[in-house]
């Protein structure tokens, strides 16, 4: 391996920034980070010790990711003397939309990549989405699983950063003017004395309230009769089928293309709901029924804004409390560490610092246990 002294590497990286940028534009890779790695190789920097360490750090955090609660916000500082890569392990449910975004001061790049854990035994990972040039990643979850979001700045990056991770509904709400608060019967509830279960949600609204297309697609069926009474089936371009039942009237025809918000029919109580109040039975099907709730629900919980001493960001500190896997007092302890210990503050969320100790352990520690390191 060809090693380049760090002082010369700093000069080399700063001197060929424009060349790196142009090279990255010419590569047709699956992510901005892959294009950056290819540009490093083209300029001969990828064999250096710092570039190798940067690559290894990016791979390592997939295994050691932290587990923050969503929604999550972190603020911090990028220290050019440190190789930084951070992983966040997220439990996501089919139907949710994940939105991760970052802002960064200065001109440094920040790479956000989302990986699905495909084999818990061997910790295999498959990249499923990457951020665009605005440092924003959006992913509609099509499989309930464990995921890891990796955040890694380019080599020698400087500046402050803010990271936001949250989930929201991936569909618009199917009944105009209503929300999940109007769902009075959830997925899986027993029906007919336990002989069957509810394969959708019931959204109650006044008779004649418009029901709308939740996603762009094609009307695959309009029928009258059976348990659902007047029904409409909408198929999107991703293989999902959306079922609208008990309609008072249908306002579309089979084969018609629709876009989100188009009116498909009006709320009623036809079919086996003649004795109940008007409502829409809404179902989601793709090789069987799926719970519509994650497709429709956007959490109202707010992100915790950091409430710490930001002068510690990017600096060495003295840590006198145990690290936690997430920024709250009820979280598990990362590992047993001899205290006090010294480490680098990456950022903060709420009242907790995000710290990486010199023994390589990483986690969150309450601000009351962090102070300046003695000389």
Query: Does the pLDDT value for residue 190 go beyond 80?
Result: no
- Give per-residue pLDDT as tens, 105-117: 988 899 999 999 9
- The answer on 335 and 249 residing in a single domain is no
The rounded distance, in Å, linking the Cα atoms of 266 and 280 is 9
- Give per-residue pLDDT as tens, 196-227: 567 889 999 999 999 999 999 999 999 999 99
- Give per-residue pLDDT as tens, 222-270: 999 999 999 999 999 999 999 999 999 999 999 999 999 999 999 999 9
Residue 195 within any structural domain of the chain? yes
- The answer on 290 and 310 residing in a single domain is no
Containing structural domain, residue 347: 304-375
> Is the four-CA dihedral 130, 133, 139, 145 of positive or negative sign?
positive
- The answer on 289 and 194 residing in a single domain is yes
> Is the four-CA dihedral 120, 123, 129, 134 of positive or negative sign?
positive
**Rounded to an integer, what is the distance from CA 21 to the centroid of its chain?**
27
Phi, then psi, of 220 in degrees rounded to 5: -95, -20
- Give per-residue pLDDT as tens, 160-182: 999 999 999 999 999 999 999 99
- The answer on 290 and 197 residing in a single domain is yes
Q: Which residue has the higher pLDDT, 186 or 361?
A: 361
Q: Which residues pair with 232 in a beta bridge?
A: 222, 244
- The answer on 316 and 266 residing in a single domain is no
Q: Which residue has the higher pLDDT, 244 or 375?
A: 244
Residue 312 within any structural domain of the chain? yes
pTM score, whole prediction: 0.87
Residue 24 within any structural domain of the chain? no
As given in the structure block, the two tokens for residue 111 are 């790479």
Q: What is the DSSP letter of 373?
A: P
From the list 189, 219, 215, 218, the residue with the least C-alpha distance to 202 is 189
- The answer on 372 and 273 residing in a single domain is no
From the list 169, 168, 167, the residue with the least C-alpha distance to 72 is 167
Residue 206 within any structural domain of the chain? yes
- CA angle centred on 162, ends 161 and 168, rounded to 5°: 150
Q: Which of 296, 322, 343 is the last residue of a domain?
A: 296
Q: Which of 264, 296, 328 is the last residue of a domain?
A: 296
- The answer on 261 and 202 residing in a single domain is yes
What count of other Cβ atoms lies within 10 Å of the Cβ of residue 28?
8
- What is the rounded average pLDDT of the residues 57-68? 92
- The answer on 326 and 291 residing in a single domain is no
- Give per-residue pLDDT as tens, 4-55: 344 444 444 555 555 545 544 444 457 899 988 888 888 888 888 889 999 9
- The answer on 316 and 277 residing in a single domain is no
- Give per-residue pLDDT as tens, 301-351: 889 899 999 999 999 999 999 999 999 999 999 877 788 999 999 999 999
Full 3-state SS string of 25-89: HHCCCCCHHHHHHHHHHHCCCCCCHHHHHHHHHHHHCCCCCECCCCCEEEEEEECCCCCCCEEEE
The rounded distance, in Å, linking the Cα atoms of 39 and 45 is 9
CATH of the domain at 225: 2.70.70.10
As given in the structure block, the two tokens for residue 180 are 């999940």
Query: Does the pLDDT value for residue 361 go beyond 60?
Result: yes
- The answer on 205 and 255 residing in a single domain is yes
Query: Does the pLDDT value for residue 61 go beyond 90?
Result: yes
- The answer on 340 and 275 residing in a single domain is no
Residue 26 within any structural domain of the chain? no
Q: What is the mean pLDDT of the chain?
A: 88
For residues 94, 231, 277, 174, the Cα torsion angle rounded to the nearest 10 degrees is 40
Residue 341 within any structural domain of the chain? yes
Can you spell out the DSSP letters for 156-176? Answer: T--EEEEEEEEEEESS--SBT
Residue 152 within any structural domain of the chain? no
Residue 309 within any structural domain of the chain? yes
Q: What is the DSSP letter of 215?
A: S
- The answer on 324 and 263 residing in a single domain is no
Note the pLDDT of residue 188.
Answer: 60
Number of domains in the chain: 2
CATH of the domain at 324: 2.30.30.40
Percent of the chain with pLDDT over 70: 88
- Give per-residue pLDDT as tens, 117-146: 987 545 589 999 999 888 999 999 999 999
Q: Is 141 helix (H, G, I), strand (E, B) or coil?
A: coil
Q: Which of 270, 296, 322 is the last residue of a domain?
A: 296
């Amino acid at each position: 391996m060809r090693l380049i002294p760090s002082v010369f590497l700093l000069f080399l990286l700063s001197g060929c920034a424009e060349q790196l940028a142009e090279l990255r534009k010419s590569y047709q890779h699956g992510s901005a980070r892959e294009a950056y790695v290819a540009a490093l190789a083209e300029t001969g920097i990828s064999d250096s010790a710092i570039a190798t360490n940067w690559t290894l750090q990016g791979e390592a955090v997939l295994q050691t990711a932290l587990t923050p609660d969503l929604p999550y916000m972190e603020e911090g500082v990028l220290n050019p003397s440190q190789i930084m890569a951070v992983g966040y392990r997220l439990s996501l449910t089919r139907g949710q939309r994940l939105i991760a975004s970052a802002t960064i001061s200065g001109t440094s790049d920040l790479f956000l990549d989302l990986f699905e854990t495909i084999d818990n035994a061997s910790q295999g990972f498959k990249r499923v989405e990457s951020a665009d040039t605005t440092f924003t990643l959006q992913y509609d979850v099509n499989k309930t699983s464990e995921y890891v979001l990796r955040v890694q700045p380019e080599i020698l990056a400087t500046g402050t950063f803010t990271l936001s991770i949250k989930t929201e509904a991936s569909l618009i709400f199917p009944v105009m003017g209503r929300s999940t608060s109007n769902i009075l019967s959830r997925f899986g509830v027993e029906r007919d004395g336990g002989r069957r279960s509810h394969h959708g949600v019931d959204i109650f609204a006044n008779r004649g309230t418009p029901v709308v297309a939740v996603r762009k697609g094609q009307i695959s069926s309009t029928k009258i009769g059976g348990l659902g009474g007047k029904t409409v089936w909408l198929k999107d371009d991703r293989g999902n089928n959306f079922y609208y039942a008990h309609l008072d009237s249908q306002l579309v025809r089979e084969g018609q293309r629709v876009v989100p918000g188009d009116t498909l029919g009006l709320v009623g109580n036809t079919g086996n709901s003649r004795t109940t109040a008007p409502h829409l039975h809404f179902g989601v099907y793709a090789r069987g029924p799926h719970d519509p709730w994650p497709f429709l629900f956007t959490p109202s919980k707010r992100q915790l804004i950091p409430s710490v001493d930001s002068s510690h960001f990017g600096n060495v500190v003295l840590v006198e409390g145990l690290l936690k896997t997430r920024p709250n007092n009820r979280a598990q302890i990362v590992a047993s560490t001899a205290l006090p210990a010294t480490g680098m503050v990456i950022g903060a969320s709420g009242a907790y610092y995000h710290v990486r100790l010199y023994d390589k352990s990483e986690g969150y520690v309450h601000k009351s246990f962090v102070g300046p390191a003695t000389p």
